Amino acid sequence: MFGRRAKSGGSQTPPKPESRFAERPESTSRGNDSYLGRRELVPQQEPEEQVPEPKTMKQVFAPPPPPTKAAPTKKNATYYQNKEVIFQALVDTIDMARLSQMDIDVAKRELRAVLSDIIAVKNILLSIAEQEELLNDISSDIFGYGPLDSLLARDDIADIMVNGSNRTYIEVNGHVELTDIQFRDDAQLTAICQRIVSQVGRRVDESSPICDARLADGSRVNVILPPLAIDGPALTIRKFKKDKLTLDQLLRFGSVSQETAEILQIIGRVRCNVLISGGTGSGKTTLLNCLTQYIEHTERIITCEDAAELQLQQPHVVRLETRPPNLEGEGQVTMRDLVRNCLRMRPERIIVGEVRGTEALDLLQAMNTGHDGSMGTLHANSPREAIQRLESMVTMGGYGLPIKTIREMIASSIDVIIQAARMRDGSRRVTHVTEVLGMEGDVMTTQDVVIYEITGEDENGRLIGQHRGTGVLRPKFRERASYYGIDTELADALERLERKHGIGLSEED
Ligand SMILES: Nc1ncnc2c1ncn2[C@@H]1O[C@H](COP(=O)(O)OP(=O)(O)OP(=O)(O)O)[C@@H](O)[C@H]1O
Ligand SMILES: [Mg+2]
């Protein structure tokens, strides 16, 4: 154990990325022979792992303090001092390179044993809890993602946004908060970015400073380094939620009303072609995932995504993922390639994670040629803007199609647009369920079936509002509902919505 030199030729494997999520080993018994060896490694200095206090809206949106490294608190200063001393002793004692070659669990046990001994030999006074924290901290510097580990372990965080070494924000419950997390310097942050992207066989450095990657747990990562990022490396992580939100949960959160949820279920079931539109992080993928839950288990579904986020429950699913070019700029597989290939795979439904380019034309064609019930998301701030974006994506394809033809194509392909929004109080809501009716001359006609109306704000700044019916009791997709034998359910949901909160008919009005 403590100080034992690693045996050569043993079954040693490099640390695996997923090891970050493995349970930390129990503290180990100490040995007393020799150390693992020596090598040079700069001691790393991390802030204390701590859960940031929830901040008020005022604090969240207060102007940021100047971008200087915050002075550590008294407790932090001692903590850093201790950590520095221990890390220095550790570097003088063991061969870190050798350690990183070992099986991750064995290496962690060895490391903890050595660290415990250093603490004892140096006579550093620490409570058991402090010692445990320090051991975990140093261990995560060496084997994990350093200061990020504490954030990655939390399931309540939607996004982690690192803007240089001393400014890390998180999004929790729809609110963006500044955390106390700090990296030692930009070099440490760059090394962590490099470690993350190298796990998916990519490289990020000055010569190729932009990179998309995925963590072992499925979280989506984007890195952009200086000189493109002017104030230091910028790392953005969309945390992968192990348990995706369901329509029931969205109902509890008030993102949809009971009737809207029922209408969405029916839209998912009766094979409407659906576009989910919304701004960044407005909950588009979550909604798409919810809708797919109502697809029959007998249908063959093919999903195309940039990073596999959807979690379909059906048995007959083929999941496809795009691939960025390799370091030589070759081997790229685009969303368009995937959607086109999909068509040769006998799909019944095609689900496109995010439509952002020329694949729009292929998706529309698929929707038009017997793949009803296909779905996709798109960045736009309103259903009308979603249609305009689709138009421009098809135009960008360079087929020279007249705008009227493109519009006709959209009108005959898309049945429903569901608009998601992240509101100013941090909540996410479905704000429109809009159906595409067809063309009148050169103009595409749409009608809202459900809209969300804000009526006020409570004393905590939370928006008050409700989903309202627009008087449309016979939407076009009612024909589909009747084909699938659930016409009365749809009529019932629409009538209830209208009775409760119909525009102009509301009981409260
Ligand atoms: N209705 C909701 N209520 C609360 N949280 C939600 C809701 N919808 C989504 N979220 C959370 O918000 C985060 C972003 O959601 P999601 O990935 O679905 O957004 P998106 O619009 O697809 O984002 P992007 O534009 O980056 O693809 C996730 O952590 C998700 O769990
Ligand atoms: Mg998304």
Question: What tokens does 10 get?
Answer: 């043993």
pLDDT grade for 76, boundaries at 50, 70 and 90: low
Question: What tokens does 401 get?
Answer: 């199609």
Looking at residue 330, what is its pLDDT? 83
Which residue, 96, 117, 116, is CA-closest to 15?
96
- Residue 375 has φ and ψ, to the nearest 5°, of -145, 155
Residues in the chain: 509
| % residues pLDDT > 90 (the chain) | 51
| 191 CB within 6 A, ligand 1 | no
Cα dist. 171→123, 151, 162, 445 in Å? 40, 11, 12, 37
> Rounded to whole angstroms, how far apart are CA atoms 241 and 363?
27
Q: 282 CA distance to ligand 1 centroid (A)?
A: 5
Region 310-338: mean pLDDT is: 89
201 vs 236: which has the higher pLDDT: 236
Dihedral-angle region of residue 149 (phi above 0 means left; psi in -120 to 50 means alpha; beta otherwise)? alpha
Establish how many alpha carbons lie within 13 A of residue 506's alpha carbon, considering only the half-sphere containing its beta carbon.
12
Looking at residue 19, what is its pLDDT? 34
pLDDT grade for 101, boundaries at 50, 70 and 90: low
- Average pLDDT in the chain: 82
pLDDT of 116-134, one tens digit each?
888 888 888 888 888 888 8
Residues around the ion ligand 2 (C-beta < 5 A): 284-285
| 284 CB within 6 A, ligand 1 | yes
Determine the atom of ligand 1 nearest the C-alpha atom of 220. 26
Residues paired with residue 278 on neighbouring β-strands, in sequence order: 379, 420
pLDDT exceeds 80 at position 472: yes
Determine the atom of ligand 1 nearest the C-alpha atom of 158. 29
pLDDT grade for 97, boundaries at 50, 70 and 90: low
Ligand 1 pocket test, candidate residues 381, 428, 429, 467, most atoms within 8 A of CB: 428
> Rounded to whole angstroms, how far apart are CA atoms 121 and 134?
16
pLDDT of 141-160, one tens digit each?
777 788 898 899 898 999 99
Least confident of 84-98, 236-250, 361-375, 391-405: 84-98
Looking at residue 388, what is its pLDDT? 95
DSSP label at residue 210:
E
Residues 6+ apart with CB under 8 A from 266: 294, 477, 481, 486, 489, 490, 493
Establish how many alpha carbons lie within 13 A of residue 383's alpha carbon, considering only the half-sphere containing its beta carbon.
26
- Residue 284 has φ and ψ, to the nearest 5°, of -65, -50
pLDDT exceeds 60 at position 252: yes
pLDDT exceeds 50 at position 2: no
Least confident of 214-223, 282-291, 429-438, 483-492: 214-223
- Report the nearest-CA residue for atom 11 of ligand 1: 283
Q: Are 209 and 224 in contact (CB under 8 A)?
A: yes
pLDDT grade for 398, boundaries at 50, 70 and 90: confident
pLDDT exceeds 70 at position 354: yes
Q: Are 487 and 471 in contact (CB under 8 A)?
A: no
Region 389-416: mean pLDDT is: 92
Least confident of 59-63, 282-286, 369-373: 59-63
pLDDT grade for 103, boundaries at 50, 70 and 90: confident
Q: Which ligand ends up closest to the CA of 241?
A: 1
pLDDT exceeds 80 at position 302: yes
Residue in the structure block whose two tokens are 């004692």 = 93
pLDDT of 28-68, one tens digit each?
333 333 334 333 333 334 444 444 444 443 343 333 333 33
Looking at residue 254, what is its pLDDT? 94
Least confident of 55-64, 413-422, 440-449: 55-64
Looking at residue 96, what is its pLDDT? 66
pLDDT of 378-390, one tens digit each?
999 999 999 999 9
- Report the nearest-CA residue for atom 12 of ligand 1: 283
DSSP label at residue 492:
H
Determine the atom of ligand 1 nearest the C-alpha atom of 309. 17
Q: 129 CA distance to ligand 2 centroid (A)?
A: 39
Strand-by-strand arrangement of the 428-440 sheet:
317-321, 301-305, 349-352, 375-379, 274-278, 416-422, 428-440, 443-457, 463-469
Q: Are 187 and 181 in contact (CB under 8 A)?
A: no
Q: 328 CA distance to ligand 2 centroid (A)?
A: 28
pTM (whole model) above 0.85: no
Q: Are 151 and 50 in contact (CB under 8 A)?
A: no
The greatest distance separating any two alpha carbons of the chain, rounded to the nearest whole angstrom, comes to 87
